[in-house]
Amino acid sequence: MAEKIAFIGLGNMGLPMAGNLMKAGFDVTGFDLAPNAEAAAAAQGVKFAASAAAAVEHANVVITMLPAGKHVLSVWGELTQVARPGTLFIDSSTIDVESARKAHQLGTGMGMLTLDAPVSGGTMGAAAATLTFMVGGSAAAFAKGEAVLQKMGKRLVHCGDAGAGQAAKICNNMILGISMAGVAEAFVLGERLGLSHQALFDVASTSSGQCWALTTNCPVPGPVPASPANRDYKPGFATALMLKDLRLAQEAAISAGASSPMGAQAAALYSIFEKLGHGGEDFSAIINFFRGAEGK
């Protein structure tokens, strides 16, 4: 018998994820507060409930994809009151580690199994079911959730206990934000020195400068045809979301007493770029900030 899944949060990431679960044969009922959510869910074949509580009523797996920790805690606080004991709660939002751990405590305190399972791969990965899930929680919860998560992604990593998935996500994205800033700076320097984009890419992509920000999400058009730079920086992974993750990393660094000067600098750069009105562009568009008056 197929799992009955409640999916709360049918936005740019949640909706295609729910749709992939439907395609895999799961019985999915969704809910979202957005005005057009019901019509969007119908287009994906996802049933739509009158409320989050109604979606959860008969579910044995509940997945949330929400904007911030306060939303996760509010929704889990409500839904753990109405779900059946033993229900698996999976949060795939990207939130602060402290809130993730509190969500686990809410769930386990009510007799639920719980996982924090943030994702990497962006909207394209959500649509193609090629996401990477970084998972925190007990071995028993991971064993129950593995088959469900596999239908939305291509790689699952059980990172440890409660909150470990969120910790891995923010550390990974701090690396990404720092490396994209470095790649963008290098291409601007190359432009000023008369190097073609292709020449710099051909050298760096096969030398010690090689990284994901260069070879997959190259910030200039041409060398990597699939990169957002070839689509006028349509995300992808938006600048506003990168800034959110960099800020989460800085909050975690302060809380843990960890030194993070490069992460702090990346957060400052993306904060300025977002304030200049570029929050909806792919985070690789930061190259235009480094170009200054000669930019976009």
Distance between CA 191 and CA 245 in Å, rounded?
29
pLDDT single digits (tens) 37-63: 999 999 888 999 999 999 999 999 999
Q: Among all residues, which ones are annotated catalytic?
A: 169
Q: Indicate the pLDDT class of residue 286, thresholds 50, 70 and 90.
A: very high
Distance between CA 189 and CA 210 in Å, rounded?
17
Distance between CA 198 and CA 67 in Å, rounded?
38
Q: Does pLDDT of 2 surpass 80?
A: no
Q: Does pLDDT of 295 surpass 50?
A: no
What's the pLDDT at 236? 85
* 207 backbone dihedrals φ, ψ, rounded to 5°: -130, -165
SS3 293: helix
51, 31 contact by CB (below 8 A): yes
- Residue 151 sits at the vertex; the CA angle it makes with 148 and 156, to the nearest 5 degrees, is 75
Q: Does pLDDT of 176 surpass 50?
A: yes
Residues 6+ apart with CB under 8 A from 10: 18, 30, 31, 32, 34, 37, 40, 41, 46, 65
What's the pLDDT at 293? 52
263, 177 contact by CB (below 8 A): yes
What's the pLDDT at 123? 85
Average pLDDT over residues 177-196: 98
Distance between CA 93 and CA 59 in Å, rounded?
19
Q: Does pLDDT of 93 surpass 90?
A: yes
**Exposure class string for 260-278: b at 16+ Cβ within 10 A, else e:** beebbebbebbeebbeeeb
What's the pLDDT at 122? 85
Other CB atoms within 10 Å distance of the CB of residue 192: 10
Please give the C-alpha separations between residue 283 and each of 174, 277, 279, 286, in angstroms, as whole numbers.
12, 12, 8, 6
Distance between CA 183 and CA 33 in Å, rounded?
38
Q: What average pLDDT is seen over the chain?
A: 95
Q: Does pLDDT of 294 surpass 80?
A: no
Which amino acid appears at position 237 of this protein? F
Comparing CA positions, the residue from 185, 218, 215, 192 lying closest to residue 289 is: 185
pTM score: 0.90
Average pLDDT over residues 68-96: 97
pLDDT single digits (tens) 211-227: 999 999 999 999 999 99
Q: Does pLDDT of 132 surpass 70?
A: yes
Tokens of 155: 């790689």
